[in-house]
Structure formats: structure tokens, C-alpha cells
Structure 1
Amino acid sequence: MKLYSTNNHDLRIDFQTAVFNSMPQDKGLYMPVEIPVLDQEFLQHLDQYTLPEIAYKVASALLHDDIPENDLKAIIEDAINFEAPLHQLNEQTYVLELFHGPSLAFKDFGARFMSRIMAYFLKDGEALLDVLVATSGDTGGAVALGFLGVPNTRVTILYPKGKVSEIQELQLCSNGHNIRAIEIDGTFDDCQHLVKQAFADDELNAQMRLTSANSINIARLIPQTFYYFNTLAQLFRVGKREVVFSVPSGNFGNIAAGLLAYKMGLPVKQFIASTNVNDTVPRFLETGIYETRPSVQTYANAMDVGAPSNWVRIMALFNEQRENVQKMVKSYRYSDEQTVEAIAAIDQQYGYVACPHTAIAWLGIQEYQQNNPSAGDTFVFLSTAHPCKFPDIFDAELAAKISIPEQVSELKKKEKIATAMQADFNAFKTFLLKTNQD
């Protein structure tokens, strides 16, 4: 697999280099030089394959000979060892539950796959691999559990103070061993900016072997394509074909993976990028002006992103043409008030408790249906996190309906350990250099 930078189309590097470098020095993002189209026999008969079989087929098409067949299968079987089931709400509408992994969030797909890929490529005696990750909520917990105990790695997670839920924070801050957390007095965008500055800093890169576990890393993006193909497999088994996906979108990695799957031949009709009031992309699609703004805190905290990194990948997939993106992607934004109303409506209509991100994805479907009435479409909205991770969002009656997984009960017994820091790169750089010498 050869990759280029979105800021330098002449660059050519291999997959292993991209995994460990994470982000090019020119501050672009890595993208495949060629996107393979899967064969029609496979695409039309997805219902005949299991999730691990689909994952292997998709990954091997992208990676070619980067990882031998048996090794790649073993990585997938170890990393993707949980289901991504569809829950039907009515004849037309399904929830894709992506929270059945260890951190109870969709980020487990990317984090577990990436950690195993890195462990596979790491050789005995190599320099310690320092993994930097910024999180607005769920990424950090998934990365922490994905890398916990992986030899020769050290993970540093930056998260915005007071802007993640209690459970999300404990998932970041209670692991110890090779996982450490930094509580930044700022926003997710501040955390993300600090990580990007670190990758561009010559002194840090000379003394440390840095890589990222955010969705800017191509190894995070690839496994997220798996569940889109697997969703179609499940729908094909019940005779559903015309599919519209609604994806709760913050940093736009999740929907970028869906669009990569589409370019590989995924037979899907439409994508909806459903956002909270951090609406950089909806505004761009409406006006043609791409204007980032400071992120605003909302109930859907994992989507509180004012400068979505992965948007450059989506534009690259569509040859930088906004009109091409508009044909395949509709985008709508929703307030906290609308989100709370949607949570209540989903419960009242279907007896289903949705997290705020999931509720926003459902709202996207409602708006799309009003604008594009069609009796034959099947709608799938992505549930990206277990509702138990957001206890402050629900009233007592709704909260009582949420079953608390055992790992959450155990998590609440643990102690939070984090380093407090201002959103200042010099402070972050000093911390990294000092702890690198300890």
C-alpha cells in the first residue's frame, strides 16, 4: 500500500512508515495512492460473510502484501473480537450499535486494530514508541485499553478539562502502566493542536519516536470501514438494499471511513453527516466557505470539534470538488435542546435509550426523510457510544432503563490520575522531554 500526503501528492511512502509517522511533516494526512474496488461477486453477496471475513477481505485489498495473509487474519481475529449488531426500530430504520467493545465506543474498532498493527511492526530492541492522542471523549478510552500492556509503547492522552463525562475520564486516567493522561485547561481543538505541534517539532522528533492514535492515523481509518460493509451484510440477509447512513460527526473520521468504503464499492445510496452546533462542515457545504471556529461544549462531547482534521481526507476522496461531496453527503446540525428532545422521542416511540451522539444521528435521518421522501430506502444511524457513559444527560426515569455494564461498575472504584496543564505547547514539550529522560 503506497500513500501520499494531502499536502503533497507526489509523496510516496509505505504503510508501515505511515503508521509510525502518523502525520506527514507537511501537516497533511496520509491517503492511499490507489483505492481498490472490491469485486462485484463479493459486494453483491456480503450476506454470506462474517464480520472477520469481511474485515480480512477489505484490509487485504488495501494493504496488499504489507502483512502476510495468516498474520493479518490473526490481527483481525484478535482486534475485532466483538459484534456490531443492527437493532431494528421500525420497518425502515435501524440502529448500528458500535459500542460492544471493551471501552463501550466505536473507537474500539480503530484503536484495537491500530495497536495490534503497531505491535506487529515493532521489532525487539527498537526505540520506545510514544503514542500521542487528543480526545474529546471516547477516543482516549479506546486507545488506553487498546494499548494497555503493549510492549515498548507509551501512550500520552490529552483531554479537555471538564469537558468529558466521569466515565470517559476514568477510562483515560485510571490505567497506569504505559498509559498516562494530561488534563488540558482548554478545548479539544487545543488538545489536537498540541499534538500536531509535537509532530512538527524537530527537537521532539529527534529525541522521541512519536506517533498518533487519533483518526489522523491511517491505521485507525481502515478498520472503521469494516462495519459499513458488515452492516450491508446484515441488511442483505433481510432483503434490504437501498441504504442511507447517518453518522454522528465531530472530527469526521467515522464518516471518512464510510466514504472510503463507498469508494471501494460499498453499495450505499447516501451519507448524512449529523453534527452538533460545531457546524464547520454543514456551513461549508451550504456556502462553499470553509471557516473553522473555536469548539463549543455540548452534550455530545465527542463531537465538540471546531476544526475537523479528517475533512481534508473527504475532500481528497472527491477530488477537492465540493459539488461532488454534496451529491453523496448531506449535513445537518442540532442543538442540545434538540438532542434532549430526540433522546426522549426515541425512547417514547421505540423504547430505546440513545446516547446524545446517537440521538443526533437519528435527527439527521428525520430531516433527510422530510427533504427526500422515498418509500424504498432503509436508514441506518450509527450509535457510537453506550448511553451509560453520559449519566448527566438523562432524567431519572430514562437513566433507570440503562443497564450498566460490569466494566463500568469496576471502573468507578478506580482512582483518577492525571497531570494538569495549560494549553501551552512549551509546557507540553517540556513535559515530554523531561519524562523521556526519567
Structure 2
Amino acid sequence: MSEPLLFHSTRGAGSATLEQAISAGLAPDGGLYVPEALPRLSIDAFADASTLAEVATVLLQPFFAGSTLAGALPDICTESLSFDTPLKPLAQRTNAYVLELFHGPTAAFKDVGARFLAACLARQLRGDSAQPLLTILVATSGDTGAAVAAALHQQPGIQVVILYPDGRVSPRQAHQLGCFGDNVQALRVDGTFDDCQRMAKAMLGDAELQAQRPLSSANSISLGRLLPQMSYYAQASLAIWRTHGTEANFIVPTGNLGNALACVWAREMGLPIGSIHLACNANTTLPDYFAGADYAAHRTIATLANAMDVGAPSNFERLRWTFPYDNELRGQLTASSVSDATIRETITRHAKAHDNVFCPHTATAMHVLDNLPDDGLPRVVTATAHPAKFETVLEPLLGFSPDVPGPLAAMLYRSASAEAIAADEGALKEWLLRETVELSRA
């Protein structure tokens, strides 16, 4: 058996195995887990890989080598990455594409990471009847919570607790978050996503609480979610390389930086990826930094692209680990901010002129593409969520609501509820200690 790859905290804590890093979510010192070094792969290594599951198996093998999950990796990928992530050409531009990541069960790109993480956790928990109930604590700005809930619903040995900012997610997103029941509980927080994220991190770092109630995370801070997200960038860039013989250039809507970081890491591993542009909403923490300002978290602004309403992106720590010096980091990425007015204009224009309907998040990236020259370079817009999740934004603009995918319609048909909670760590800790759901282990 090969030596396993070890993982360390971005803040310097001791090493952990892959299994430990996936189970813990957050490192003991509050940092995020990163590998000792990012592996490098040649394009030829993917010669026999075309489906998402096949590409993911090749891409992730170096991270899993020597772990207890190594032998199960092909099955984990096949089981969790069983839906399409199509790369669709845009007729109005030369060599421009939309990478549709919303064909999973909850109609958002978060399904990729959430289902992969769930498949890993299920295998780690399987057969260990002595292990106490594990609570997965999730802070969500809209889509993460539903994806995690769907992936872990009725999973023996696991409880899911979702924190979301009350009134700052779309009505359909809120319904998704509260429609599962059983081992899933939604808490609507009287605050912002950054408050939810702060509360979740505080609980994960609370040794006293962890001793009484083991916790882990399924946010983009989770290594088990981040790693598989590299696979769709690998698959898309390989498809463009095989067609055009050149690198793919990505425009990625981003808030907490997990999706964009996956693209960066895929490029660092040797995939044929060129430029990466971060499309942000009116929350300008990242655009300000990449324009030359010192990094500083901002107070969150509520926007139409609510899943990107983040003022303190957690994965910036991983980005700094990847490129430790400001001048180096700023040379790797570009970023821009898109206002709500521009999001509305972009959605309306593309629907009327090209019959393309985009969610508000994807619209931020489309605006960036619209302002780049049509120079023939392969450019890919990452489409992060199905537009039907945002009917309250789109219907007033377009005069109709997008058709609802079947799995999303089934969730909206269920009843939903969420419990109110203050944006306070003490309130959450008290709730967690009081409300333990007893699950049987099948």
C-alpha cells in the first residue's frame, strides 16, 4: 500500500489523514484542511476518462491513495456523480460555453460535493455501531443546505442541522431547506450568511460541545466537498482541449470561494485551464482585493444573487495557502463586481435576444463574458443553479416562470418548516445540546 497523503490546517495544526480531515470538517485550530502538496497529473492520465465519474476517479486517486477509502473511490464516484454536467455552446459567441451544474437532485452545483461527501461518510460510518451520532452543521446562503440535506436525508448515524439567514434566500430555496424532516433540521437565523458561518465555525471549534455531541461540516470548508468539485472543471477543460487543442478559460460566480477554488486547484494539478475570472455580486471583498486593496472582510450586502452574499469568504485561507504572496495571488485570478441592476438587465437581455434563461448567479458571469472581446478563445461560464429556484426574481423580468425540474417540484410539494434562532453562538450551542435526534443505525 502506498503512503497516504496527509492534510494540514491552513493555520499550521498537525497532520490528519484523509478520513480524519473529511470527518472533522474544520481543523482543530480553526483552519481549513489542505494537502501537504497538490498532486500533479498529465493530460494523458485521463485518456480513458470521459464521464464525470471516470474523470473524478482519476483526478482524486492521489488524494485517496493509501486511505481506507481508496478501494471504494470508483464506486463513490459512480454513486454520487450520476447526473450530467453538460457543456453547452452559446450560439451568439465564438467558442463560448455554459457549464450547466444544476442537473442534480436539488438543482444546484452543490449536489456534486454534497453527494460525494455523503458517500464517503456513509462508508466511514458503516459497521461502526459504537460511534456516536454525528451532527453535520451547515451554514448556507441558499443552495448548500438543500444539497447536503438531500444527500444525507435518513442516513443512519447522522443528523443534519442547517443554518440559513432568514429572509435572505429565495422562497423556493427556503422551502427546500425545511422540507426534509426526519434527521434534518433547518434553523432560520436572524442575521446574515456570515453570521451563520461564524456560528457554525464556533461550534466546530468548541471542544466542550464536541465532547458531548460530535460535529462536522459540509460547507465549502469541507475537504470532502471541495475535492470532487474539481472534477467538473477537469471534465470540461479536457473536452475543450480534445476539441480545440487549447486551454479553457473559466468565469465562475463566487461567494465563499469554494467553487472557484476547485477550478484553481484543478489548474494547479495540470488540467488545461487558462484564465479564471471571479464574478461577484455587490459584495466586493474579492474584487477589492484583486484590484490591489489589502484583504479585509466586508459587511454583507443582500443582493438578487443571494447565494453569493458573502463578506468574509472562508476559502480565501486556502487560496492564500496555494499562493502565499499577494503579488503572486493577484496574478492568478481576476475579479469583478456586478450590481443588481446589471443582473436584471443581463437576465432580461439574454432571455429576449437568445432565449437563454439564467439564474441571478449565472447572470453575473454572463455579464463578464458579454464584456470580453469575441476573440475565439474558449470561454466557459459556470452555471451554478437552475433558474426555476429564483422565480420571484425572474417572473417580474420575463413575464413567466421557468419550468420546474421534477426533483425540485417534488421537494416543493412537501410541507416545510424551520425554527427561528438568534444570530448568537450561545443560542446555537444551547439548541444543539438540547435538541438531539436519536437515530437508529441500519
- Are residue 80 (structure 1) and residue 84 (structure 2) matched? no
Counterparts in 2 of 1:184 and 1:226: CA distance versus 1, 3 Å: same
Name structure 1 gaps, 5 residues minimum: none
Counterparts in 2 of 1:397 and 1:324: CA distance versus 1, 3 Å: closer
**Residue in 1 that maps onto 2:9:** 5
Name the aligned partner's letter for residue 18 of structure 1: A
Question: Per the alignment, in what secondary structure is the counterpart of residue 135 of structure 2?
Answer: strand
Moved more, 391-400 or 273-282: 391-400
**Residue in 2 that maps onto 1:126:** 131
For 1:354-397, what per-residue CA distance to the aligned partner results, in whole angstroms no more than 9, with x for missing partners?
00000001122234x2xxx5724111010000000001111357
**Residue in 1 that maps onto 2:54:** 53
For 1:101-160, what per-residue CA distance to the aligned partner results, in whole angstroms no more than 9, with x for missing partners?
000000000000001111111123211111000000000110000101111000000001
The 5 A counterparts of 1:165-314 are 165-239=170-244, 241-314=246-319
Percent identical residues: 37
Q: Of residues 27, 49, 53 in structure 1, which corresponds to 2:30?
A: 27
Name the aligned partner's letter for residue 60 of structure 2: A
Does structure 2 conserve the Cα–Cα contact (< 8 Å) formed by 1:353 and 1:398?
no
Please give the alpha-carbon distance, in whole angstroms, between the structure 2 residues aligned to 1:358 and 1:187.
22
Question: Per the alignment, in what secondary structure is the counterpart of residue 395 of structure 1?
Answer: helix
Does structure 2 conserve the Cα–Cα contact (< 8 Å) formed by 1:129 and 1:152?
yes
For 1:69-96, what per-residue CA distance to the aligned partner results, in whole angstroms no more than 9, with x for missing partners?
5411111111001010011113221110
- Are residue 99 (structure 1) and residue 105 (structure 2) matched? no
The 5 A counterparts of 1:150-165 are 150-165=155-170
Please give the alpha-carbon distance, in whole angstroms, between the structure 2 residues aligned to 1:263 and 1:317.
9
1:237 offset after TM fit, Å? 4.4
Question: Per the alignment, in what secondary structure is the counterpart of residue 435 of structure 2?
Answer: helix
Question: Per the alignment, in what secondary structure is the counterpart of residue 122 of structure 2?
Answer: helix
Q: Of residues 328, 334, 348 in structure 2, which corresponds to 1:330?
A: 334
For 1:1-45, what per-residue CA distance to the aligned partner results, in whole angstroms no more than 9, with x for missing partners?
21111110x6211111111111112111110002110124225x4
Does structure 1 conserve the Cα–Cα contact (< 8 Å) formed by 2:101 and 2:108?
yes
For 1:168-200, what per-residue CA distance to the aligned partner results, in whole angstroms no more than 9, with x for missing partners?
111110101110110101110110010011012
Does structure 2 conserve the Cα–Cα contact (< 8 Å) formed by 1:20 and 1:211?
yes
State the Cα RMSD in Å. 1.7
Name the aligned partner's letter for residue 270 of structure 1: S
Question: Per the alignment, in what secondary structure is the counterpart of residue 302 of structure 1?
Answer: helix
Name the aligned partner's letter for residue 23 of structure 2: F
Please give the alpha-carbon distance, in whole angstroms, between the structure 1 residues aligned to 2:74 and 2:95.
34
For 1:263-288, what per-residue CA distance to the aligned partner results, in whole angstroms no more than 9, with x for missing partners?
11011110000100111011111123
**Residue in 1 that maps onto 2:369:** 365
For 1:311-331, what per-residue CA distance to the aligned partner results, in whole angstroms no more than 9, with x for missing partners?
11111111x112222222110
**Residue in 1 that maps onto 2:409:** 409
Please give the alpha-carbon distance, in whole angstroms, between the structure 1 residues aligned to 2:53 and 2:409.
30
1:344 offset after TM fit, Å? 1.4
Counterparts in 2 of 1:67 and 1:236: CA distance versus 1, 3 Å: farther
Question: Per the alignment, in what secondary structure is the counterpart of residue 123 of structure 2?
Answer: helix
**Residue in 2 that maps onto 1:38:** 41
Name structure 2 gaps, 5 residues minimum: none
Name the aligned partner's letter for residue 335 of structure 2: S
Please give the alpha-carbon distance, in whole angstroms, between the structure 2 residues aligned to 1:423 and 1:396.
32
Please give the alpha-carbon distance, in whole angstroms, between the structure 1 residues aligned to 2:412 and 2:374.
46
Does structure 2 conserve the Cα–Cα contact (< 8 Å) formed by 1:167 and 1:411?
no
Question: Per the alignment, in what secondary structure is the counterpart of residue 412 of structure 1?
Answer: helix
Please give the alpha-carbon distance, in whole angstroms, between the structure 2 residues aligned to 1:327 and 1:429.
41
Moved more, 340-349 or 203-212: 340-349
Please give the alpha-carbon distance, in whole angstroms, between the structure 2 residues aligned to 1:437 and 1:175.
14
Q: Taking structure 1 as the reference length, what is the TM-score of the superposition?
A: 0.94
Does structure 2 conserve the Cα–Cα contact (< 8 Å) formed by 1:288 and 1:322?
no
1:240 offset after TM fit, Å? 5.5
1:233 offset after TM fit, Å? 2.8
Question: Per the alignment, in what secondary structure is the counterpart of residue 35 of structure 1?
Answer: coil
Please give the alpha-carbon distance, in whole angstroms, between the structure 1 residues aligned to 2:360 and 2:71.
40
Count of aligned pairs: 430
Please give the alpha-carbon distance, in whole angstroms, between the structure 2 residues aligned to 1:346 and 1:408.
24
Does structure 1 conserve the Cα–Cα contact (< 8 Å) formed by 2:300 and 2:310?
yes
Does structure 2 conserve the Cα–Cα contact (< 8 Å) formed by 1:353 and 1:401?
no
Consecutive aligned runs of 4 or more in structure 1 exceeding 6 Å deviation: none
**Residue in 1 that maps onto 2:115:** 112
Please give the alpha-carbon distance, in whole angstroms, between the structure 2 residues aligned to 1:413 and 1:41.
46
Counterparts in 2 of 1:399 and 1:220: CA distance versus 1, 3 Å: farther
Counterparts in 2 of 1:349 and 1:327: CA distance versus 1, 3 Å: farther
Does structure 2 conserve the Cα–Cα contact (< 8 Å) formed by 1:240 and 1:378?
no
Name the aligned partner's letter for residue 143 of structure 1: V
Does structure 2 conserve the Cα–Cα contact (< 8 Å) formed by 1:130 and 1:156?
yes
1:411 offset after TM fit, Å? 2.6
Question: Per the alignment, in what secondary structure is the counterpart of residue 13 of structure 1?
Answer: coil
